[in-house]
Chains A and B, each alone.
Chain A
Amino acid sequence: MAGSAVAWPRVYEERGLLSWLTTVDHKRIGILYILGAGFFALIGGLEALLIRTQLAVPNNRVLVGEAYNQVLTMHGTTMIFLVVMPVLAGLGNYVVPLMIGARDMAYPRLNAFGVWMFLLGGLFLNLSFLLGGAPDAGWFGYAPLTAKTFSKGTGIDFWILGLQLLGISSITSSINFVSTILLLRAPGLTLNRLPLFAWTTLVTAFLILFAMPSISAALFLLFLDRHLGTHFFNPAAGGDPLLWQHLFWFFGHPEVYIMILPAMGIVSEVLPVFSRKPIFGYTAVAYSSVAIGFIGFTVWAHHMFAVGLPPVVNAFFSAASMLVAVPTAIKVFNWIATIWGGAVRYRTPFLFAAAFVALFVIGGLSGLFLAAVPVDWQVTDTYFVVAHFHYTLFGGSMFAIVAGIYYWFPKITGRFLDERLGRLHFALQFIGFNLTFFPMHFLGLSGMPRRVYTYAPGLGWEGLNLLATVGAFILALGFVVFFVNIARSLVAGERAPDDPWDGHTLEWLTSSPPPPYNFARIPVIHSRRPAWDRKYTGNPHPHPVIEAAEGNDRVGEVETSEEPIHLPSPSLWPLILAAGLTVFALGLVTHWIFIPVGLLLFALGLVRWVQQPLFPEAHGTSS
């Protein structure tokens, strides 16, 4: 049944560096995204601890002036572009094709290109620390602070080019997700039966496609201002610093939904499984993601309430920003209703997912204050905002990401993460997180602005800052426990079956880890919860049926569609192409010699990629 019917390039079973460098398998690419994000999370976390150490007491001298500004800029840029976005892309890459019954993403080599572009782009950005200084104008880089006059070094150029490289990665990854989810679903898997994590991945892909070009254009204009003497953001010559802000925030606001929607999708997968019920109000939850996506494009100027736009403009953006709370609230109520009346199991994924709901609600509510223009005039650019976005992006996205990792780790590795370490991790992270960020609401209300490397004593800010610093170290300890858990479990974790959690969706119907071709036979889908239904619907003995893996045929009892298995060949050219672009960028900031070298690598990679057939039998053309 197994081996002889399936033919795929033997090289998929290889280990070793080259097999990873040439992989086009969505599962390996997903792992690369997650590992890369983990690495950058260590850097970003270290930057956070440096910030908190400096702010622990007033007039501290650990990190001052430009150095502090570099660390704060890199902390934000790293966490957003090198941690949250890639880890969600990684989980999406690994899980979504499995969830929809596909063998891989629509464009496997483009997929590989995306992950290499991310890894190299992230390295490029961090190289700035060693080559003249990291960018120091904040993750939002307002003009004219970023003009050559006020930022003379190459830091800002590293920032501009690094973000362009990362943007290319995100856009290619999004094109892949759209085509994959729209075109490669298993027979019977209508959009109405699409798992919610796939729904949010789809909406997020569209957000990226429509938001990133705006920042890309802005970054080009800034680069031209800095190096070709153009005047886009130079007020002395008719340019407009506000043009930067509009272009940036037109991207910047959808960006935060890009970071939260897939996380919400994870929660919509985890809560039903651990409550042993379906998601409450599937349609509302699915469409609310779409609504959040749409409305998210109409609120950008709520980051600009204090720049002096006409009151009626401010009022419009205020109303739109409050409107987005409606689909968000719908999700929250649906999640609670999912747990309600269930048979809840307190496993680690559930703890983090439930905490997500609790913490995200706080973040969402603090957002309402920011949407109310007159209140925003007081709290914007203060620690109140820092509290708000950490509650939504950390209490929200990061908690959900951790939930997703505990949830899918058994599928990816074939082993469980340790449950006791998981609880310890949860306790440290929950307590540490709240201790760090809740006081910041009060710091903002007490008048402490953002992005300051120190503050005066005697203003009442000392106690809360110290508390936040203590919390940050507890939080860091939680992450240490997490990484220890991962390391130990990879080697000696308890073995996991195909379906360790009594799951609902398709990925639990194949082995842990899955074979390279995912499913021996693509199943035909009849409902939103194919795995659950197989176990319980029509089954006279309603007990969980979690069988040990037996051979490669996981879907023997289910109607399947006949289809020959083709797997694409591994390829080095995506890596070469990504390297070419990175070297080219390096040439623009350091020595010009890298420019032709980069272009040559780029051309080589492109030509060879196009020439190489996608499948080993030269089946069809390139992709």
Chain B
Amino acid sequence: MARTGGAIRGWARGGEAGLVILSAGLAGCSAQSPAILAPVSPKGRAEAELFWFILAITAFVFVVVEALLLYAVIRFRARDPQAIPPQIHGNRALEVSWTTVTALGLAVIFAMTWRTMAATSTPPAEAIPVKVIGHQWWWEFQYPTLGITTANELVIPVGRPIRLTVTAADVIHSFWVPQLGGKMDAIPGRENLLWLQADVEGTYYGQCAELCGASHANMRLRVRVVSDSEFQRWVEAQRAPAAQPVEPLAQKGYQVFMSKACVGCHTIDGTPARGKVGPNLTHVGSRTTIAAGLLENTPENLARWLDNPPAVKPGSLMPRLGLTPEEIQALVAYLSSLK
């Protein structure tokens, strides 16, 4: 009976090792994870390097300590139930040694931490300024030097530093795009500085990382990293007022939009819609996702959203407007045309 206990422990230990491998495999299985350890930015790389450095040290400590523990537990199993082992109370030299080694190891980790902090704290001078404002539950992006206001999709040129001023309009949120570096909290009444730079073109997933209410899980974003020339084209298009609807369904959609409550919350430049409560929709058709990175920007998803926002995003401030299917189809056509 007493023997099985040790067997269970040994088996459990081996199982744990297998678990590590399994988990690593499962995690690595999916290349589309916004993984911290697959950075595409200088800051992200520095943070990942520090992670690997600490992992090397802690993995070594883990192996040594657990091995000592396991060995002690197994090797010193009592054979004779009456035996009393030597009653050792301590060993000054040993205790001083392991304390010193631990302190030294930690000092090394701290030194590397300090180095990484120093190397990543100051943004380069010619960074493009962007203001990030967290709302319940969407992201507002303003490019003050370019005269652009958009939402939920941050478009930046590759290889250029971006200087983000992060704040919030209501509660605390946290702006985080894992592959571009660490996060920064968006706190109302406070402007926090975060700089980032993406060195590889692509679309990167981001998500709010501070509990901010019912739809915290649904407050996502995308960062689209594009070439310089494409960025210029994007800027030009964003600066232009909203496209006039051409085809009849889109025109109908325009009428629906301007006559319903939409104008109270949303802005579409060049139209009477001047609301500031919800995201700016001037070029919503050009975004890859809608509802703050929650859904692919397709007509089906737009329709689903317009029909019943609280069902898609619990607690959504955008209410169910009671639109008829025809009105929804028209709106979808209009909004999709706003490229």
Contact = CB atoms under 8 A, between A and B. Distances in A.
A365 B106 CA distance: 11
Nearest to B86: A341
A277 B85 contact: yes
Contacts of A438: 16, 19-20, 23
Candidate in A306, A334, A339, A426 with the most chain B CB atoms within 10 angstroms: A306
Interface string A311-346: 100110011001101100110111011011111111
Given A241-B172, A536-B84, A459 B33 contact: yes
B213 A380 contact: no
A114 to B, nearest CB: 32
Contact of A333 (B6, B98, B184, B193): B98
Nearest to B15: A431
Given A145-B211, A378-B51, A381-B183, A447 B33 contact: yes
B73 A339 contact: yes
18 contacts: A65-B215, A235-B188, A236-B189, A239-B189, A306-B182, A330-B102, A337-B94, A340-B76, A341-B88, A342-B72, A365-B61, A368-B109, A431-B15, A439-B23, A446-B36, A447-B207, A449-B176, A464-B26
B208 interface: yes
Contacts of A460: 27, 29-33, 35
B88 A280 contact: yes
Interface stretch (B110-118, B241-249, B251-259): B110-118
Interface residues of B, number: 113
B133 to A, nearest CB: 13
Given A69-B211, A284-B90, A366-B58, 12 more contacts: A142-B210, A144-B188, A145-B211, A241-B189, A281-B89, A346-B3, A368-B106, A381-B209, A434-B15, A438-B20, A441-B23, A449-B176
Given A241-B172, A374-B117, A420-B1, A307 B216 contact: no
Contacts of A382: 209
A445 B35 contact: yes
Interface stretch (B63-71, B145-153, B155-163, B274-282): B63-71
A277 B113 contact: no
Contacts of B51: 369, 375, 378
Interface string A281-305: 1111000000000000000000000
Contacts of A8: none
A307 B16 contact: no
A196 to B, nearest CB: 13
Contacts of B185: 306-308
Interface string B1-39: 111111011001101100110111011011111111100
A552 interface: no
B98 A329 contact: yes
Interface stretch (A40-48, A356-364, A564-572): A356-364
B220 interface: yes
A65 B76 contact: no
Contacts of B187: 235, 241-242, 307-308
A456 interface: yes
B104 to A, nearest CB: 10
A549 interface: no
Interface string A43-80: 00000000000000000000011100100000000000
A354 B73 contact: yes
B106 A369 contact: no
Interface of B: 1-6, 8-9, 12-13, 15-16, 19-20, 22-24, 26-27, 29-37, 44, 46-48, 50-51, 54-55, 58, 61-62, 65-66, 68-70, 72-73, 76-91, 94-95, 98-99, 102-103, 106, 109-110, 112-114, 116-117, 120-121, 136, 170-172, 174, 176, 178-179, 181-185, 187-190, 192-193, 205, 207-217, 220, 294, 314-315
Contact of B102 (A319, A329, A339): A329
Contacts of A427: 8, 12
Contacts of A240: 189
A453 B209 contact: no
B102 A326 contact: yes
A455 B24 CA distance: 20
Nearest to B13: A358
Nearest to B101: A329
A380 B187 CA distance: 16
Nearest to B120: A374
A458 interface: yes
A145 B189 contact: no
A318 B117 CA distance: 11
A401 interface: no
B183 A377 contact: yes
Given A69-B211, A277-B87, A447-B205, A368 B33 contact: no
A377 B182 contact: yes
A351 interface: yes
Contacts of B12: 427, 430-431, 434
Given A336-B69, A372-B50, A445-B36, A308 B192 contact: yes
Contacts of B85: 275-277, 341-343
Nearest to A377: B182
Interface string A375-403: 11111111000000000000000000000
Contacts, number: 334
Contacts of B112: 372
**Which of B72, B112, B190, B220 has the largest number of chain A CB atoms within 10 A?**
B72
A438 B2 CA distance: 28
A69 B58 CA distance: 34
Contacts of B121: 311
Determine the interface band of chain A, counting residues with CB < 8 A from chain B.
35 or more
Contacts of B58: 365-366, 368-369
Interface in A433-477: 434-435, 438-439, 441-447, 449-456, 458-461, 463-464, 467
Contacts of A346: 2-3, 5-6, 9, 77
Given A306-B184, A336-B68, A460-B27, A145 B209 contact: no
B54 A368 contact: yes
Interface of A: 64-66, 69, 137-138, 142, 144-145, 150, 235-236, 239-242, 275-278, 280-284, 306-308, 311, 314-315, 318-319, 322-323, 325-326, 329-330, 332-334, 336-337, 339-348, 351, 354-355, 357-358, 361-362, 365-366, 368-369, 371-382, 419-420, 423, 426-427, 430-431, 434-435, 438-439, 441-447, 449-456, 458-461, 463-464, 467, 536, 542-544
B76 A543 contact: no
B293 to A, nearest CB: 9
Interface centre among A276, A283, A372 (most CB of B within 10 A): A372
Nearest to B179: A447
A163 B183 CA distance: 30
A461 B82 CA distance: 53
Nearest to A239: B189
Nearest to B194: A308
A391 to B, nearest CB: 12
A319 B109 CA distance: 9
Nearest to A451: B211
A69 B214 contact: yes
B314 A65 contact: yes
A380 B183 contact: yes
Contacts of B22: 467
B183 A306 contact: yes
B106 A374 contact: no
Contacts of B55: 369
Nearest to B114: A315
Given A277-B85, A368-B54, A447-B35, A377 B47 contact: yes
Contact of B95 (A241, A281, A430): A281
A419 B65 contact: no
Contacts of A543: 82
Given A375-B47, A375-B50, A445-B36, A362 B217 contact: no
A511 to B, nearest CB: 24
Contact of B65 (A66, A150, A235, A332): A332
